[in-house]
Amino acid sequence: MTVFCESWNLHRFGDHLKLAPSAIPRWFAMATIVALVAPSLSSDVPKPLMLVFCPGQPNYGSELARLIDEDGRVDAKILVLQTEELFEAMIYFPNVKAIIVSLAKEEPRHFGKSIDWFFHQGGGVVGLGFAGSYGSTGSAANNTFPLMANNCKPGEYDPTRKAFSLTLIKDQPHEVSQGLSDFTASTQRIVLSLNISTSSYWPRKPEVGDWTVLYRDSIYDAPAVVAFKDNGSSVTFATFGGEDFNRSYAYYGLFTQSEEFRTLFTNAVHWVWTNESRYEESMEKAATLAEDRRISEQEVLGAAEETAGRLKRDRIIQISLTLVLASVSSAAILWIGILRSLKP
């Protein structure tokens, strides 16, 4: 296969003025696109970023983003992601301040270590559904979403409504659950740490950090909402892993209309947002590292200019020597061969 490259236009943003003249028309085209896709480009400091990851459930992701937006207490740019690879990459982006993860199904995920890293850096995290289940997020179910869940159990089934429900009983007082009392939500199941032999809740809690159970479910007495503060801050819901399919028992619309869920969820988001300690530090670190890189690039450019200068000097010397030697030798030959013979 033949691969041919036209003259490349390298757009290293921030380097636009250095574009070659041939790149200028494209630069104009690109500027138009930037204007189209990034209307907030004019503001100098972009809003901190909040990632919402709801694999396979884009509508639920958008609904969670809408609830946060509607609440208005958090001034964030919200990015709703479905693809795990993209989500995992974005976790390392410097201006991410908080992450919401909702997993509707139990399946092994790769991002566990990355979210642990984010939490360890001081980030704010909210987990829903299977986020706190070891089978889905691995180590993150212990370190970031500390439910240590190894199983899930159904809520109470109401044949007349053809729906499951869980009654959440208020436990320890916390800022997130302030003003709320016990409530029943139409949600299908709860993930929990289960003692397989007795089929009952097996109490487990992390060895470090400040672990607070805000709500327990009425059937298994397992933690249903947990706030955790170690390096970072997290609130983990053992349920509410909503699905988009509107005839599913886990359809998100069954519980997102409930005032209690909305208040609890937005309080949780606000709490992790205000308690995280990563953002400022990571932005400073990113700026420092970017500056280091700029200096290193300048060094390379300096070395390149030096090499180019040396080549130019060598060429001037070569030209001068060639001219001098040619002139001297020609003059000598002419003197010996012609001028001397003309002497009387």
Partner 1 sequence: MIDRRLLAVLATTGILSTALVSLLFHEKAGKPIEILRQDWNLPLDGERLLIPTQEGRFAYILSMIIRRPFAELEMRFAVLENQSVPYTISLDGGSPKEKIAEIPEIGQIVATFQECQQSYRTEFTELDMALEWRGHDYRAVLLDMTEAFQLLAPAEVPRNLSSVHAFLFNEDGRLSQCYRGCPDFFIQREVAMVDLTIQRNENVTKYAQRASEATRMLPLASAPPLGWLRFRDLKKDDRISVTIAFNPAQIRTRKALLQVVAFYVDGRYYDCLLRILEPS
Q: For the segment 162-191, give every residue that binds partner 1 (CB under 8 A).
A: none
- Asked if 320 touches partner 1 (CB under 8 A), the answer is no
How far CA 282 is from CA of 123, 286, 299, in Å, comes to 10, 6, 25
> Pick from 73, 75, 291, 313: which binds partner 1 (CB under 8 A)?
291
- Asked if 343 touches partner 1 (CB under 8 A), the answer is no
Q: Are 276 and 124 in contact (CB under 8 A)?
A: yes
CA–CA dist 99, 51 (Å, integer):
5
- Asked if 28 touches partner 1 (CB under 8 A), the answer is no
- Asked if 9 touches partner 1 (CB under 8 A), the answer is yes
Which residues in the 264-283 window bind partner 1 by CB under 8 A? 282-283
Q: Are 148 and 196 in contact (CB under 8 A)?
A: no
> Pick from 22, 25, 29, 154: which binds partner 1 (CB under 8 A)?
29
> Pick from 56, 94, 135, 209: which binds partner 1 (CB under 8 A)?
94
Supply the minimum distance, in Å, between the C-beta of residue 216 and partner 1. 36
- Among 149, 143, 127, 122, smallest CA distance to 207 is for 143
Block residue for tokens 């970031």:
144
CA–CA dist 276, 112 (Å, integer):
19
- Asked if 102 touches partner 1 (CB under 8 A), the answer is no
Which of 25-33, 127-135, 256-264, 265-273 is the region at the interface with partner 1 (rule: CB under 8 A)? 25-33
- Asked if 257 touches partner 1 (CB under 8 A), the answer is no
Helices (H), the chain: 24-37, 58-71, 84-91, 112-120, 134-137, 140-143, 253-256, 259-275, 279-334, 340-342
CA–CA dist 270, 264 (Å, integer):
10
- Asked if 90 touches partner 1 (CB under 8 A), the answer is yes
- Asked if 2 touches partner 1 (CB under 8 A), the answer is yes
Which residues in the 59-78 window bind partner 1 by CB under 8 A? 77
CA–CA dist 288, 25 (Å, integer):
33
Residue span 38-57 as binding mask against partner 1, x where in contact by CB under 8 A, dash where not: x-xx-xxxx--x--------
CA–CA dist 288, 295 (Å, integer):
11
CA–CA dist 53, 99 (Å, integer):
8
Which of 153-161, 200-208, 219-227, 328-336 is the region at the interface with partner 1 (rule: CB under 8 A)? 328-336
